[in-house]
Homo-oligomer: A and B are copies of this chain.
Amino acid sequence: MRRPTLDDVAALAGVSAKTVSNVLLERPHVAEATRDRVLSAVKTVGYRVNHAGRGLASGRSGRIAVVVPNLHQPYFAETAERLILELSARGFTSTLRIAPDEAAERDAILGRTTTDADAVIICPHFFVASFFGSSPPERPIVQLGGAPNGVVDTVVMGEREGFEAVTRHLLDTGRRRLALVWNSTSSGKPEGERYVGFTAAHAAHGLEPDPALMVSGSDWDRRASGYEAMTGLIRTGVDFDGVVAVNDAIAVGALRALVSHGIRVPEDVALTGFDDTDEAGFTVPPLTSVSPEREDMVSNAVDMLVERLDGLAAPARVRRTGAHLVPRASSAAPAPA
């Protein structure tokens, strides 16, 4: 009835509890025969390790906190899913923390709400180096996406080249006046890697982005935000033939706004997103997007984390992963006039 312990297994196998532990931890120097005997005893008594005991004795929990702003945004849900599966494949358990606002995110990073994890992987929304004050983080933290901050290891996804590719794609197919639907930033101006890519593509065509075509919604993560921003732009009456959205969710919101104002996609206006979420393939019309190399991002993040857990002491590292254009109908070239 009582849940079996190491001692129960040890008694049955005729060895000490420590030996059973050594077998389970796959320590070297355990005789083949002993191992077999132990493992079969484990099976017969139905032993399962007690994580609390192990954690207390070893000083590690074997648990990684995965921190995302939310799960209703497909990008975060899909990323969290991959992270969790990858961590579990590598023998870690995980705990998913949802940090919808800056305070929650800081608390998660600083460990105030994630005391039971050995390390943290975060898809940051607000994260900046100043969260730490003067003292460095007390446990490994890896950032997935977001800008390198010199404090924690970071996986940079191909934001710049991805955005450049999608922007060039529109320019190459004859679009000339591209609107940019942005998430709001602290400065109120577009900024960061994606904007750099956007500008670079324009420059390659000898063009410059038109500030009158840049709009942002009130929130990064809501389709509603894209709808709202797009509607605002349409109301200004300004002319445009392409819309580059900062991510798929915003593109989906923008799409609704375009359609409900009688603007046809892609005939009148081309539309693109970013992230290549599941839903991008199923909008009407299907949405051109940019696919970050998710597998790469996730495995790089976990690699770096494991290295830190194994004791690596080195300045914050940056790994870059790629991104590629996924053209779909929403950006099909307009019929020649």
Residues of B within 8 A of A56 (CB): 50, 52-53, 55-56
Separation of A331 and B112 alpha carbons in the complex (Å): 48
Contact yes or no, A71 B78, CB < 8 A: yes
The smallest C-beta distance from A297 to any residue of chain B, in angstroms, reads: 16
State the CA gap A248–B88 with chains docked (Å).
29
A77 at the interface (CB under 8 A from B): yes
Nearest residue (CB) in B for A113 is B88
Expressed in whole angstroms, the minimum distance between the Cβ of A140 and any Cβ of chain B is 15
Stretch from A17-25, A91-99, A176-184 forming part of the interface with B: A91-99
Q: Is B72 touching A98 in the complex (CB atoms < 8 A)?
A: no
Give the chain B neighbours of A48 by CB distance below 8 A: 111-112, 115
- Is A241's CB within 8 Å of the partner chain B? no
| Least CB separation from A80: chain B residue | B71
Max chain B Cβ within 10 angstroms of own Cβ: one of A111, A113, A252: A252
A253 close to chain B: CB less than 8 A: yes
Pairwise interchain contact B95-A95, C-beta atoms closer than 8 A: yes
Determine if A77 and B72 form an interchain contact, defined as CB atoms under 8 angstroms apart: yes
* A71 in contact with B61 (CB, 8 Å): no
List A residues 252-279 near B (Cβ within 8 Å).
252-253, 255-256, 259, 278-279
Where the two chains meet, the residues of A that have a C-beta atom closer than 8 Å to any C-beta of B are 48-56, 61, 63, 70-72, 74, 77-78, 80-81, 84-85, 88, 93-98, 111-113, 115-116, 223, 227, 252-253, 255-256, 259, 278-279, 281-284, 286
Ranked nearest first, the 3 interchain pairs of A and B with the lowest CB-CB distance are A52-B55, A77-B77, A71-B81
